[in-house]
Structure 1
Amino acid sequence: MSGTLRRLISSPGGAYGVAALSVVVATAIVSFLWTPFDPLTVDTDARWAGPGWPHALGTDNTGRDILSLLMVGARTAVFVAVGSAVVSAVFGVAMAAAGALTPRWARESVAVLIDILVAFPVLLIAMMISAVWGGSLWVVVAAVGLGFGVNIARVTRPELRRVMASDYVLAGRAAGLTGWQNLTRHLLPNVAPVFIVQLSWGMAVAVLAEAGLSYLGFGASVTDPSWGLLLAELQPYIGVQPLSVLWPGLTITLTVLAFNLLGDALRDATDPTLRSRGRRAIAHDTPGVVA
């Protein structure tokens, strides 16, 4: 584990991903205890103030402090990212296990179902569910989690099938281990690297989907400030105060980029094929070193 962490942080993308997401999580925690101003307080005397003192990033058209809104919006981003990851993990693993450990007719049925569902974009699924059940963060979490869970099942199912053919799994089955025991002892630990990478990418999709749904009016409410909702509220005034629109857009971009780079770095740090390929390349380029 420590070796994987060292490889993760040693890469520029991994270091940026860990640092940026640590800042987002820390900001979300701090926002429960302190923000420069009350993010929901309207102050018409401070409309379009700053950036400067005391509003570091300025205010919006109602006088609300943009920095405070961004800090509270970090809570929404973390909640949606973690909540969607949990839902997609449970749903994805259950579907992948059903497609790998059940009888042949059930496996083929699950495979067809996965192929059908994966054709629908995650954001489209989230929009349809949000339109039916109403816009809220819980609906966004469920919609994005279910939508991306299908992608996790699609990637994890072949890995489970591959590991099932391993000698130690067959030996465990011969020793009397049940399908559930094999799943928890042998199968899931061996597909964990692929699973974790997919989850990190799923969190990026969750943050982006929440921002998009909130921008369209299907996501967070005004009592749950989010970066997408703030961007939607400021966008009509881009001609009046263009700098104010920059902050939520830049925050969303950098956070999604951090999740994507972290996923790439996790893939490189946990994939033994890539590591051995890198060692062979170093040995080939270094005189006197035998691969």
Structure 2
Amino acid sequence: MNAEPKWGISEYLRIVAIAVGVSCIVVGILMVYQGKVLPIANISISAGLILLMAGLILIIVSLVMSTKTGNQQTSLKAWHVVVLILIAFLIIYAFTRYQLTEAGRYRILVDLIFIMLALTGAVGYGVYRWIARTVEARAEEITVETKNAIGTQVSTSLGYVWYQHHKKGKTEEKKSPDEAPVDYLKLAIDITRKALEYANKLDEQRHEELICVSKNNLAYYLAEKKRIEKKINKGDKELARAYAKYIYDRIEKYPHRRSEWADTYQFVMS
């Protein structure tokens, strides 16, 4: 199965909130600027200030809220650059807006440059954070999947080793006459069950052959247990049959394993 990224939609909502907040600030500044040269100055300035406040509040709220990827403190540290950019923009804008000479020809050009720089910085950092989160989530997914694949392979191989000991009739030297002999078949079954616990967490399409090998081995070991003990509990019997059918249905995809899997299917179903 595929691992899902942990950061989810909340990170997208945060980026959207930042972008909307910045847009409100930009529009508010332009309205304040326009209000100083139009007859409806008071209305335009008031509306611009309201938009400025709304944009700042929206940004602050989006930064304070925690995300699915981490706690509130981590989120605040991650976005402090955006806040610094916006504060710097407001300070520089206020300085240039009120310190330049009256009716300077390039004042509106200076305003637009600072607005674009602030918007680019905020959106750029938002995109950076989105890419970073995506890469981190994918790296974590790969790490977990690799761990499960290795666990499946190692446990399956170890189970096969124990089965070979059982097949050759090997026995451990007893430390005392009352000590029971080692049941290598039981060890093989137990460790192969553990292998399938790892296998069930893998992506079936990418690791299908490895999963089939583990299921083939466990099905065969359970059938061997039935042959020796003349009986087997209903759950293990159904499990062995289900695994035998699983590998038999995929036998055409792996011709190099045809003989082995066909023998398992026949042994389990007999």
TM-score > 0.5, shorter chain as reference:
no
TM-score, normalised relative to structure 1: 0.29
Q: Which has the higher contact order (CA 8 A, sep 6+)?
A: 1
Bigger CA radius of gyration: 2
